[in-house]
Structure 1
Amino acid sequence: MQYAVGIDIGGTKTAIGLIDSNGQVLAKTALPTGSEPSHMVDEIAAAVNKLIGDAGFSASSLKGIGIGAPGPLDTKKGIIAEPPNLREWWGFPIVDSMKRYFSVPITFENDATAAALAERWVGAGRETDHFVFITVSTGIGAGIFSHGKLLTGATGNAGDIGHIVIDPSVGTCPCGQKGCLEFIASGTAIARMASELVGREISSKEAFDLAFSGENAEVKELIDRVFRYIGVGCVTMINTLDPELVIIGGGVSQVGAPLFDAVTDYIQKHALNPSGRRTRVVPAALSQDAGLIGAAALIHIDYK
């Protein structure tokens, strides 16, 4: 049996797993994402070797290593370019650094792109050749499947929808534009805006609890507005790409029906094409393992 290593580098943690050719996670671990990338690669390599050793697999069965990381990045050069939540990693040559430890093929893509590939392989996108996967978490990003192929763009940054401008009146995004989707509808944004309303620091989960319990009408209004913003983002993708399906994942998607009902309602009212108004919106199937499985899928699947 051949297996691949999947590495999902996030803003706060890095997940590492062994995934077989059927998309099954055989073993996994996680490390805090450090601020010194060279040292972090040393730790990742040690964790990979320990996983392989503990699982009793032979090194010869390792097909390759797939890496997913937040963008902007440059997949042609194997460089993590300028992700807002990983400033210490800017310009870091992740692929060449991993090659110091491993001689197998190493593939590198945007984390949302990798997660979309996972959903296509063993998740909610198995039955369609045209879908958009949107992750709404710390940030917002998308992976795009069209005509049975993953669209990655010239440098691997296709689908960076978190920086579509939605409402310039709400303030300046860290990227410099005003009113980006990520700045007004991500989990980070929800926590920031709800904290301002209640006068103390709260999480996005606490914001949802306040909204849906009826305890705070202002927070409820905020959450309703956020769901509309996400609907606007989805309609923009539907009008641009004409998918059959929109898959939403990430931490914010765990709120469930209130989000999906609101987004579906917005799409039915505002998508331009009548067929677009019928676009299905479904939750991601792979939850927390999507990044891991997607990173490994970069090795297991011919995706371009």
Structure 2
Amino acid sequence: KLFGAGKTYDNLVYVTWSTGIGAGAYVDGKLIRGKNGNAPHFGHIYVAQDGPQCGCGNYGDLEAIVSGTAIARDYGVHSAKEVFDSYRKGDTKAMQIVNNAAHNFARGLASLNALFDTEYIAIGGSVMNDSDILLPLIREEFYKSFPVLSKGVIIEKSTLFEYIADISALALVMPSSWIESWRIYKPWMQAPELIKL
């Protein structure tokens, strides 16, 4: 919120799509934390009856169906990157798995939007290394879902991409007097080795 492309929005959601699924949300300029400081647990929303088991022990939650780990599992390989490489070569099974993952992920985003009525969604995480494939699929499905709410919502790849976790942790303890200079100079771009925790 402080340093990414969403900094001008009061209502925004950041979602990480990697080996797991996580999210953070601002509503009316306020970070949603929940009673345990963990909200929203986006990866653990229930989406499929009789779905695969998630690492958390639940069955059929979003993370079990669309995470990078799930994409690799469904194709029978060790990493989602291998699936996307096969997708780019026109492999039918890889294309089906990626398309299904993108559509289910987009439906999950539509649920988040129904809850938070957001303006801007930024997506980061290792699965988004293939955003050229995923973003068009996600947007198409998202905008079909509840058009009254989805119309005008901006969905983009995170501009802070690989630095998001580190910068977010720093932002929690950063003196407010530093914020403007960090926005201007973007030190994570100048000396990335100093930012990565």
For 1:36, the equivalent position in structure 2 comes to none
Q: Shift in Å at residue 273 of structure 1? A: 5.0
For 2:49, the equivalent position in structure 1 comes to 168
Higher helix share: 2
Q: Aligned pair 1:204/2:80, yes or no? A: yes
For 2:25, the equivalent position in structure 1 comes to 144
Q: Distance in 2 between matches of 1:121 and 1:296?
A: 11
- TM-score, scaled relative to structure 1: 0.56
Q: Distance in 2 between matches of 1:178 and 1:277?
A: 32
Q: Distance in 2 between matches of 1:144 and 1:220?
A: 31
Q: Shift in Å at residue 167 of structure 1? A: 1.6
Q: Distance in 1 between matches of 2:30 and 2:129?
A: 27
SS for the counterpart of 1:220 is helix
For 2:121, the equivalent position in structure 1 comes to 246
CA contact (8 A) 2:12 2:27 kept: yes
Q: Shift in Å at residue 144 of structure 1? A: 0.5
2:69 to 182, 185, 188: 188
- Deviation string, structure 1 residues 72-101 (Cα, Å, up to 9, x no partner): xxxxxxxxxxxxxxxxxxxxxxxxxxxxxx
Opposite residue 149 of structure 1, the aligned amino acid is K
Taking only the aligned residue pairs, the percentage that are identical comes to: 32
Higher-Rg structure is 1
For 2:162, the equivalent position in structure 1 comes to 288
Change in CA separation of 1:245 and 1:204 when aligned onto 2, cut-off 3 Å: same
- TM-score, scaled relative to structure 2: 0.84
SS for the counterpart of 1:143 is strand
After superposition, where does 1:6-155 map in structure 2 within 5 Å?
A: 120-155=1-36
Q: Distance in 1 between matches of 2:175 and 2:153?
A: 27
SS for the counterpart of 1:159 is coil
CA contact (8 A) 2:18 2:125 kept: yes
Q: Shift in Å at residue 277 of structure 1? A: 3.0
Moved over 4 A (4+): none
For 1:224, the equivalent position in structure 2 comes to 99
Q: Distance in 1 between matches of 2:82 and 2:108?
A: 24
Opposite residue 145 of structure 1, the aligned amino acid is Y
CA contact (8 A) 2:11 2:118 kept: yes
Q: Distance in 2 between matches of 1:172 and 1:288?
A: 28
Q: Distance in 1 between matches of 2:54 and 2:92?
A: 26
Q: Shift in Å at residue 301 of structure 1? A: 6.0
Q: When the two structures are aligned, how many residues end up with a matched partner?
A: 176
For 1:266, the equivalent position in structure 2 comes to 141
CA contact (8 A) 2:113 2:149 kept: no
Q: Shift in Å at residue 246 of structure 1? A: 0.8
Q: Aligned pair 1:178/2:53, yes or no? A: no
Change in CA separation of 1:267 and 1:277 when aligned onto 2, cut-off 3 Å: farther
* Aligned Cα root-mean-square deviation (Å): 1.5
CA contact (8 A) 2:114 2:149 kept: no
CA contact (8 A) 1:166 1:232 kept: no
For 2:195, the equivalent position in structure 1 comes to none
- Deviation string, structure 1 residues 252-303 (Cα, Å, up to 9, x no partner): 1110122111111111111x2524233110111112111111111001267x
SS for the counterpart of 2:7 is coil
Q: Distance in 2 between matches of 1:294 and 1:156?
A: 14
Q: Distance in 1 between matches of 2:18 and 2:55?
A: 16
Higher strand share: 1
